[in-house]
Structure 1
Amino acid sequence: MRDIKSFVEAGLIGQFPGGIHPPERKSPANQQPLRRLPLPAELVLPLRQHIGPSGQCLVKVGDNVLKGQQLTEAKLSQGLPLHAPTSGTVSAIEERPTAHASGLPEMAIVITPDGDDRWGPKQPLPDFRQQDRATLIEHIQAAGIAGLGGAGFPTAQKLASQKPIQYLIINGVECEPYICADDRLMREQADEIVSGIQILQYISNAEQVLLAIEDNKPEAIESMRNAITGIDDISLRVVPTKYPSGGEKQLIELLTGAQVPHNQLPLDVGLLMQNTGTAYAVKRAIIDGEPLLERVVTLTGECMHNPGNVWALLGTPIDHLLQQGNFQAEEETRVIMGGPMMGFTLPVTAVPVIKTTNCILTPTLEELPPAQAEMACIRCGACAEVCPATLQPQQLQWLAKAKDYDALEQHNLFDCIECGACAYVCPSEIPLVHYYRKAKAEIRNIAREKAKAELARQRFERRQQRLEREKQERLERHRKAAEARKKMQQEKAQQSAPAADQPAATKPAQDKSSAVAAAIARAKAKKAAQQAAQQESSDKDT
C-alpha cells in the first residue's frame, strides 16, 4: 500500500493493458438538460432488480400504497427491499417480462398510479455525523440502494466490510459510447453528489476520496471541481478517454498504478469503489429520507428523435420511454438496453426500467450495423491485444465451444469483465462475449448442482448418524431399564424375607430339608401300616 500511496500523492495517472477507442456518440443526448416524464399508465416492479435474492412481498392486490412505501421485505444476505415509486393501487402481482436478453417473465408488482404522487412517512438523518456507522448502513439497506453504475451489487453490503479502507474511489468515468446519464447528473446535481460522497467516506472511514472523470466530460469536470472546492480529502482525477476505463479494476489501475490480484476484491487491498449515481442516491436516502425510486436513463440513437436524459421511475415501461423520446421505428430497428458494447437487444419492449437500467439505445442499421455471420478464427491475435484483463480470448472461445469448463477456470475466465472489446476488433465477427457468458452460466449451474448434491450427501449422512444415534440411545435405555427392573426385584425379595437370627440366605434351604424329612417319615409310616395290615390278614387265613 505504500507504493499506492506514493503514486496517488504524486497525482499520477497510470495505464491498463489493452482497451479500444470506439466512436463516443454521446451527443446530442448529453446536450439536453435532465427532464421529468409524465406518469405512465402502470409501473411494473420486478421483485428482483439487483445481484441477490428477491424479497418477500408485503402487499396484495387491491392495496393502496403511498410513494416510498416498502413493498417487499428482504431477509436474506444480499437482499434489498423494493418501494413504491409513486402513490396508487396494486393492480396485479404476477409474472411479467423482465429486462433481460431472454425476455423470460419474473414475478412483479404492478401499480396503477393515482396521479397524486403522495409521499408516505420519511425517516431522514440530516446530521449523519451524529449517527453510528451501523445505523447509516442499515438506513441505506432499508432504502434499497444498489450500485447504479454496474451489476447492481447492494451498496450496504460493500459498506459493511470490516476491512480498513485507504481510498474511496468515486467512478464518474462512464466510458461506454452513447451513455451520458452520469455526465448530466454531475453537471446538474454536483453538490448533492458531493454530500453523498461525504456520507460514503464517513461510513467507510476512508482516508482519502478519489473522484475520477473521463476527459471527454469538461462540463461535468468543472461542475464537480467547483463542488469540492475547500474539501481537502476529495481529489479530482481526470483520466484519458479509453474504453473500458470505467471498469472497476481498470480504473483502479489508472488511479493507483496497481493491479487488484487475481481472485481478490478491491476491498482486499484497501480500496472501495462507488458510482456517482450511487452517491447521489445515498444522499437522498440519508439526508432526505427517500428510498431509491428513480434513476437517470439516457434515451439516444438516431431513431430517437427527442434524445436526452430523463428521470425514470423504477418500473416505467420501456414503451413509455420510447414514446417520450419520440421513437420512430425503421425496418429491423433494435431497442438496446445499455450501451452498444455491454448492452443487449430487448426481445420485447414491454419490460420495465430497473435499478441497473442506464440507457435505451435505438440505432439505425447504418448507425450501428448488426453483427454479421460468424466466420472462422484467423488467429490474428487482435482480441488478445485489446483485452483489458490480459486474457487470451481466442483460447477461451475454443475451450468454451469444447465445454472444457475446468480448463476455462484455469485460464481465468471469470476475470473477463465482458466489456466486448475483443468482439469489437474481431475481423471474423465472432461473438466472443456470448461464448463467455454462456460458459460462465454453465459453470455456475454446475457449481450449483454440485452444491445441491453435496448438501444432499451431507443431509443423508446426518440422517444416518441421527438414526444410528437414536438406535444406540434406545439400546442404552433398554439396558438401563433392565438393570432397573432387576434391581427392583432384588429389593422386593429382600423386603419380603422374614426376620431371623440366621442369615436369610440359609432359611429357605432349612425349611426345604424339614419338609423332605417329614414327607419321608409319612411314607415310612404308611408303608409300615400296610405291612401290618397284610400280616394280620395272613394270620386270619391260617
Structure 2
Amino acid sequence: MLKTFKKGGVHPDERKISAGKSIEILPLPKRVAVPTTQHIGAPAKPLVKKGDIVKTGQLIAASGGFVSANIHSPVSGKVFKTDEVVDASGYRKPAIIIDTEGDEWDESIDRSDKLVKEIALSGEEIIKKTGEMGIVGMGGATFPTHVKLSPPPGKKCEILLINGVECEPYLTSDHRIMLEKSEELMVGIRILMKALKVNRAVIGIENNKPDAIGKLTNLAAKEDGIEVQPLKVKYPQGGEKQLIDAITGRQVPSGKLPIEVGAVVHNVGTTFAVYEAIQKNKPLIERVVTVTGPGITQPSNFLVRIGTPVGQLIEAAGGLPDNMGKVIGGGPMMGKALVNLDVPVTKGSSGILVLPHEEAHRAPVENCIRCSKCISACPMGLEPYLLMIEAEKELWDRAENDNIMDCIECGSCSFTCPAHRPLLDYIRLGKGKVGQIIRNRN
C-alpha cells in the first residue's frame, strides 16, 4: 500500500499538461531585474552601482546575515540602475537592473555537461560553499540552504528527505529535473548527505510520475543509503511536515522545524542546484520554470535566467490566449495573481499559470454553513473557519492561541469550502499580523 500523510488533504485535478515537455533554454532577456530579497531572511546588500560592468555568475549582492543569501548576476552586461520593482507578491522590492551585453561568464564556473561524481569538499566546506553560491530552497519557501545544513546545537539529522512530490496542479519543473538531471541529482543527494553527516536518504515521489520513480529507483539501487519511496497522490504532500509524516510517520510538533524529529527536507531543484554549486562552482543564476494553462498553445518547461520578465516566458509558450483571465505566479492552490508581466523570475519561481476567465473568476461568497469540510481538509489540524473570523475581527491574541502561525498556506480549506469563503486570504492576513506581533514581542 502506498504511503501518504495522515491528517487532511484534498485531491484537485492534476492537469500536468506540460509533463511531457523537455526542458528548453529560454533566450537571454535584453534586461533583467534581480531582486535582493529572493529568500527568507535579511535582504542581500548590493555590491554594484549604476554603470558597473558585470559577468554572468559574478557576486552582485552580499548576504545580509546568517539567514540570508548571496545574489549573483544572471547575465553579463552593464548595471542600468538599482531601483524598486514589483515582485510576485505585488509589493515593490529593491532590485539590481542589468542591461544584457553578450554572455560572458565568470571564468571559475565549469560550463561543461560532464558529470562530476567525486566529491572533493568536506562537509563543512560544502555548507560554506552553498552559502557562497546563494543556494536557497527552490520549492517555493526559499529558505537559505546553508542554514538548513547547519542544525542547531543539540539537534542531529537522522534522515535526509528529497522532495520530488510536486503535488501542486499544473507544475512539472521538478518532474523534468528528475527525468533529465537524474544522475546529477544522485551526486547532489550524496553531497547533502555528506554535509549533514547522515547515511540514509529517501526520495519521495507521488505515484503519478512512474517514469521518474522508475529512473531514480534504478539509479538509487547503485547507491548506498539512497532509496525511492513512491507515495499516494494527495495534496499538499509536498509540504515538509506532510512529507515527513508520509515517509517516516513522525509528527513535527507545532511551531517546530523538521530537525526536531531528526529530518531535513530538500527539494529536487535545490538538490540539483547544490550539485552545480559544489561540483561546477556555479551560483544559483537560473532555474527551471513551467509555463502552462488551459489556453497556452505551447505548455513548456524553460531553463530561465533569474530576473527575466514573466512576459518573455509567456511569449515563448505561445503568448496570452484571447480568453485570459489571470496570470498566476506558481500553481492554482498556493500561487498569487501577478499585477503585470514585468514581474521578474526569482529563485523561488516554479511556474507561471495562465487561467481563462471562467476559471479565474471567484464565485460569490456565501455564509458559512458549519459543514466542517475546511477542518477535515486542513493538513495541519487547524480550524480555518475560526481563524478567518478571528482575522476579520482582528482578534490577534486568539488567532495566535489557535495556532494560526502553523498554517502552511496550502489553500486546501478554500478549495473545499462549498460557500466559497476566502479562508486562505484572511488567514494569510492574520499570519502577517500575528507574526509581526510575535517579532515585536521578542
TM range (shorter): over 0.9
Checking the alignment, whether the CA contact within 8 Å between 2:164 and 2:174 is kept in structure 1 is: yes
Report the counterpart of residue 69 of structure 2 in structure 1: 80
1:405 Cα shift? 1.1
RMSD over aligned CA atoms reads 1.8
Report the counterpart of residue 391 of structure 2 in structure 1: 400
TM normalised by structure 1 equals 0.78
Alignment of 1:319 with 2:319, yes or no, is no
Distance 1:135 1:236 in 2: 28
Checking the alignment, whether the CA contact within 8 Å between 1:383 and 1:393 is kept in structure 2 is: yes
Alignment of 1:344 with 2:340, yes or no, is no
Checking the alignment, whether the CA contact within 8 Å between 2:29 and 2:308 is kept in structure 1 is: yes
Distance 1:271 1:12 in 2: 21
Alignment of 1:214 with 2:175, yes or no, is no
Report the counterpart of residue 507 of structure 1 in structure 2: none
Checking the alignment, whether the CA contact within 8 Å between 1:34 and 1:184 is kept in structure 2 is: yes
Which one of 183, 189, 201 corresponds to residue 191 of structure 1? Answer: 183
Q: How many residues get paired?
A: 436
What secondary structure, in the 3-state scheme, does the structure 1 residue paired with 2:361 have? coil
What secondary structure, in the 3-state scheme, does the structure 1 residue paired with 2:431 have? helix
Which region of structure 1 is more displaced relative to structure 2, 132-141 or 196-205? Answer: 132-141
Checking the alignment, whether the CA contact within 8 Å between 1:303 and 1:327 is kept in structure 2 is: no
Distance 1:290 1:15 in 2: 36
Q: What are the Cα deviations for residues 205-242 of structure 1, in whole angstroms up to 9, with x where unaligned?
A: 11310111000011111221222231130011000101
Report the counterpart of residue 22 of structure 1 in structure 2: 12
Alignment of 1:111 with 2:124, yes or no, is no
Q: What are the Cα deviations for residues 425-462 of structure 1, in whole angstroms up to 9, with x where unaligned?
A: 111110101111101111122334445xxxxxxxxxxx
Report the counterpart of residue 388 of structure 1 in structure 2: 379
What secondary structure, in the 3-state scheme, does the structure 1 residue paired with 2:264 have? strand
Q: What are the Cα deviations for residues 258-291 of structure 1, in whole angstroms up to 9, with x where unaligned?
A: 2112222111121110011100000000000000
Report the counterpart of residue 133 of structure 2 in structure 1: 143
Report the counterpart of residue 280 of structure 1 in structure 2: 272
Q: What are the Cα deviations for residues 348-372 of structure 1, in whole angstroms up to 9, with x where unaligned?
A: 1111000100010002123x24212
What secondary structure, in the 3-state scheme, does the structure 1 residue paired with 2:208 have? coil
Distance 2:418 2:375 in 1: 13
Checking the alignment, whether the CA contact within 8 Å between 1:165 and 1:207 is kept in structure 2 is: no
Question: Which residue identity is paired with 1:142?
Answer: E
TM normalised by structure 2 equals 0.95
Which region of structure 1 is more displaced relative to structure 2, 440-449 or 284-293? Answer: 440-449
Distance 1:423 1:130 in 2: 48
Distance 1:123 1:66 in 2: 11
Distance 1:357 1:153 in 2: 13
Question: Which residue identity is paired with 1:151?
Answer: A
Q: What are the Cα deviations for residues 330-350 of structure 1, in whole angstroms up to 9, with x where unaligned?
A: 345210000000001011111
Alignment of 1:240 with 2:232, yes or no, is yes
Distance 2:23 2:178 in 1: 11
Checking the alignment, whether the CA contact within 8 Å between 2:2 and 2:230 is kept in structure 1 is: no
Superposition pairs of residues 70-469 of structure 1, within 5 angstroms? 70-100=59-89, 103-115=90-102, 117-122=103-108, 129-162=119-152, 163-331=155-323, 333-366=325-358, 368-450=359-441
Checking the alignment, whether the CA contact within 8 Å between 1:129 and 1:202 is kept in structure 2 is: no
Distance 1:234 1:12 in 2: 19
Report the counterpart of residue 46 of structure 1 in structure 2: 35
Larger fraction in strand: 2
1:312 Cα shift? 0.8
Distance 1:51 1:197 in 2: 23
Question: Which residue identity is paired with 1:135?
Answer: E
Distance 1:311 1:14, change over 3 A: closer
What secondary structure, in the 3-state scheme, does the structure 1 residue paired with 2:289 have? strand
Checking the alignment, whether the CA contact within 8 Å between 1:128 and 1:286 is kept in structure 2 is: no
1:200 Cα shift? 0.1
List alignment gaps of at least 5 residues for structure 1.
1-10, 452-542
Superposition pairs of residues 483-522 of structure 1, within 5 angstroms? none
What secondary structure, in the 3-state scheme, does the structure 2 residue paired with 1:108 have? strand
Distance 2:342 2:229 in 1: 40
Larger fraction in helix: 1
Question: Which residue identity is paired with 1:431?
Answer: P
Higher relative contact order (CA 8 A, sep 6+): 2
Which one of 40, 43, 63 corresponds to residue 52 of structure 2? Answer: 63
Distance 1:245 1:106, change over 3 A: same
Structure whose alpha-carbon radius of gyration is higher: 1
Paired-residue identity, %: 39
Distance 2:346 2:320 in 1: 24
Question: Which residue identity is paired with 2:191?
Answer: I
Report the counterpart of residue 463 of structure 1 in structure 2: none
Question: Which residue identity is paired with 2:30?
Answer: A
Report the counterpart of residue 532 of structure 1 in structure 2: none
Checking the alignment, whether the CA contact within 8 Å between 2:373 and 2:416 is kept in structure 1 is: yes
1:399 Cα shift? 1.6
